[in-house]
């Protein structure tokens, strides 16, 4: 990541956290920049393992608290699948996911979002739509065979 976009991402995070009453810290910035850098929708454990290389004194509890703050500030999304560990997504725009039923891997699908669903169809039936999430289930190339 080039320094300019890293600074821009940190500024975005600072604004989102402060607007929602959360503290911006260097550790949170490191957790967030990792989350924005990867497309793997990591679990808190995976994030912890990776950011620890840069910030040796960070704790798993700090990572959890940081992630909860990002979700509450609208800077990240939490993905919960059944009783598996929650995964986190640095993307907050509407998009689709594909999830491997064998390894649990979650990846983005670059497909068009159907705004008719969110905008009209369901609302007309009295359903208040607050989010859009479409999940495609299957097996990733590594697990397919
Ligand atoms: Zn898999
Ligand atoms: Zn995603």
Residue 106 has a pLDDT of 93
All residues with CB under 5 Å from ion ligand 2: 89, 91, 108
| Closest ligand to the CA of 102 | 1
Is residue 61's pLDDT more than 90?
yes
For residue 50, report the distance from its CA to the centre of ligand 2, in Å: 19
| Closest ligand to the CA of 36 | 2
Bigger pLDDT: 114 vs 65: 65
Provide mean pLDDT across the span 36-51. Answer: 96
Residue 116 has a pLDDT of 75
For residue 130, report the distance from its CA to the centre of ligand 1, in Å: 30
Over residues 2-11, the pLDDT tens digits come to 777 889 999 9
Residue 28 has a pLDDT of 97
Is residue 90's pLDDT more than 80?
yes
For residue 13, report the distance from its CA to the centre of ligand 2, in Å: 18
Is residue 114's pLDDT more than 80?
no
Angle at 35 between CA 49 and CA 142, to 5 degrees: 70
Cα distance between residue 82 and residue 128, in whole Å: 23
Task: Classify 145 as helix, strand or coil.
Answer: coil
Q: Which residues contact 49 (CB under 8 A, 6 or more apart)?
A: none
């Amino acid at each position: 990541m080039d320094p300019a976009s890293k600074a821009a991402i940190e500024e975005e995070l600072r604004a989102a956290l402060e607007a929602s009453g959360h503290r911006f810290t260097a550790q949170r910035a490191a957790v967030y920049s990792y989350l924005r850098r990867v497309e793997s929708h990591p679990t808190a454990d995976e994030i912890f393992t990776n950011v620890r290389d840069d910030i040796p004194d960070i704790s798993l509890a700090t990572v959890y608290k940081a992630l909860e703050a990002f979700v509450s500030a609208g800077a990240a999304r939490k993905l919960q699948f059944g009783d598996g560990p929650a995964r986190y997504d640095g993307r907050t725009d509407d998009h689709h996911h594909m999830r491997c039923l064998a390894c649990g891997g979650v990846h983005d699908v670059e497909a068009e979002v159907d705004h008719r669903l969110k905008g009209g169809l369901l609302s007309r039936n009295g359903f208040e739509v607050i989010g859009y999430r479409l999940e495609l289930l299957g097996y990733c190339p590594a697990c397919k065979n």
